[in-house]
């Protein structure tokens, strides 16, 4: 570790890849966001006009609001479910390893496959959800889930939240397993119940992992694209539109590369700012 040349040599490949894959595209997007460019020929420099136009664009503001709704749902629904599963499995249950694998399977399945699966579940004619509602006498609740503007956003977000429950569960499970068993043994000797131990010991000691999970959930929600694109493409009538799907359609269908690049820069800044907010919240809680 004292050989600085060796350290630099080993870090250099990763640094080069980071610059080429992360820094260069961000710099290019920032450059194009200051231009009125259709993707062909030479663009016209217009300064911050693309950014000012974003905040007067109702569709863009709606896409940002939808992304924030998903971020809140991920933190308040997805993470508590993941935490509960992690605590139950870490407690020690029969077929523990099998359950961990089963819950993690959706994470490694192709997004397109997940999208096709849920499209069939939500199908108004032969979908599992409507069939179930009809079978229990709730036919009045059947709906065209992905085609109705009132339900499209909810129906799109359910698969996204479902898919990554196992991902966060695995992180939390590993964090719980890393806590010393001596602490739990002392709690048992003091007569603490499993629930009391979980609330007073497990969760407080799991805060570093919870912070990472919250940051991943929030930033992942803000830049979500694939499942929304497969399920609805942002429709109907932009009801399930998120910033990434709007950005792609703006750039590749509308040929507004400058305006779309401004959206990309906005997402980067948004993710960075909210990550700092989460970091600060957890730091204050830790200090408290």
Is pLDDT at 35 greater than 90 in this prediction?
A: yes
**pLDDT band, very low/low/confident/very high, at 287 (cuts 50, 70, 90):** low
Residue 276 belongs to some domain of the structure: yes
Residue 41 belongs to some domain of the structure: no
DSSP state of 260: H
H-helix or E-strand containing 116? helix 111-121
Number of domains in the chain: 1
**pLDDT band, very low/low/confident/very high, at 5 (cuts 50, 70, 90):** confident
Global confidence as pTM? 0.89
CATH code of 188's domain: 1.10.3720.10
> How many Cβ atoms sit within 10 Å of the Cβ of residue 98?
10
pLDDT per residue over 209-239, tens digit each? Answer: 999 999 999 999 999 999 999 999 998 989 9
pLDDT for the residue numbered 195: 86
Is pLDDT at 181 greater than 90 in this prediction?
A: no
3-state DSSP assignment of residue 241: coil
Are 229 and 250 in contact by the 8 Å Cβ rule? The answer is no
Residue 1 belongs to some domain of the structure: no
pLDDT for the residue numbered 194: 84
pLDDT for the residue numbered 93: 82
Residue 222 buriedness (CB in 10 A; 0-12 / 13-18 / 19+): buried
Read off φ and ψ for residue 235, nearest 5 degrees: -90, -170
pLDDT per residue over 249-273, tens digit each? Answer: 999 988 899 999 999 999 999 999 9
Is pLDDT at 1 greater than 70 in this prediction?
A: no
pLDDT for the residue numbered 270: 94
Is pLDDT at 4 greater than 90 in this prediction?
A: no
Residue 282 belongs to some domain of the structure: yes
Phi-psi sector, 43: left (phi>0), alpha (psi -120 to 50), beta = beta
Residue 75 belongs to some domain of the structure: yes
**pLDDT band, very low/low/confident/very high, at 94 (cuts 50, 70, 90):** confident
State mean pLDDT over 152-181.
93
Residue 275 belongs to some domain of the structure: yes
H-helix or E-strand containing 208? helix 207-222
Is pLDDT at 129 greater than 90 in this prediction?
A: yes
Residue 165 belongs to some domain of the structure: yes
pLDDT for the residue numbered 277: 94
State mean pLDDT over 136-163.
92
Are 222 and 71 in contact by the 8 Å Cβ rule? The answer is yes
Q: Which pair of tokens denotes residue 36?
A: 């009125």
Strand partners, 33: none
State mean pLDDT over 264-283.
93
Is pLDDT at 155 greater than 90 in this prediction?
A: yes
Instruction: Report the candidate in 122, 151, 104 with the shortest Cα–Cα distance to residue 230.
Output: 122
Q: Which residue has the tokens 């996204």?
A: 160
Residue 122 belongs to some domain of the structure: yes
Taking the alpha carbons at both ends of the chain, their separation in whole angstroms is: 36
- CA-CA distance, 235 to 136, in Å (whole number)? 30
Are 100 and 170 in contact by the 8 Å Cβ rule? The answer is yes
Are 106 and 162 in contact by the 8 Å Cβ rule? The answer is yes
Range of the domain at 283: 64-287
pLDDT for the residue numbered 286: 64
């Amino acid at each position: 570790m004292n050989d600085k040349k060796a350290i630099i040599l080993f870090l250099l490949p990763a640094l080069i890849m980071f610059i080429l894959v992360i820094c260069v595209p961000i710099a290019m997007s920032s450059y194009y966001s200051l231009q009125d460019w259709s993707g062909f020929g030479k663009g016209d420099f217009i300064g911050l006009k693309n950014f000012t136009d974003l905040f007067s664009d109702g569709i863009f503001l709606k896409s940002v609001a939808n992304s924030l709704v998903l971020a809140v749902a991920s933190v308040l629904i997805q993470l508590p479910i993941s935490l509960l599963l992690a605590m139950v499995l870490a407690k020690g249950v029969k077929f523990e390893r099998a359950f961990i694998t089963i819950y993690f399977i959706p994470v490694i399945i192709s997004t397109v496959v997940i999208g096709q699966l849920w499209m069939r579940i939500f199908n108004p004619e032969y979908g599992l959800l409507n069939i179930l509602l009809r079978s229990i006498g709730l036919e009045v609740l059947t709906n065209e889930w992905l085609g109705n503007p009132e339900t499209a956003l909810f129906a799109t977000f359910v698969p996204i939240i479902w898919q990554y429950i196992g991902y966060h569960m695995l992180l939390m499970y590993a964090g719980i397993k890393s806590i010393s068993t001596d602490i739990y043994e002392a709690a048992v000797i003091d007569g603490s119940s499993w629930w009391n131990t979980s609330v007073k010991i497990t969760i407080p000691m799991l805060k570093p992992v919870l912070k990472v999970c919250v940051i991943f959930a929030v930033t992942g929600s803000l830049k979500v694209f694939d499942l929304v694109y497969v399920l609805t493409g942002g429709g109907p009538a932009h009801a399930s539109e998120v910033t990434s799907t709007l950005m792609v359609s703006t750039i590749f269908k509308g040929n507004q590369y400058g305006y779309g690049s401004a959206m990309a820069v906005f997402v980067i800044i948004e993710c960075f700012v909210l990550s700092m907010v989460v970091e600060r919240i957890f730091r204050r809680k830790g200090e408290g």
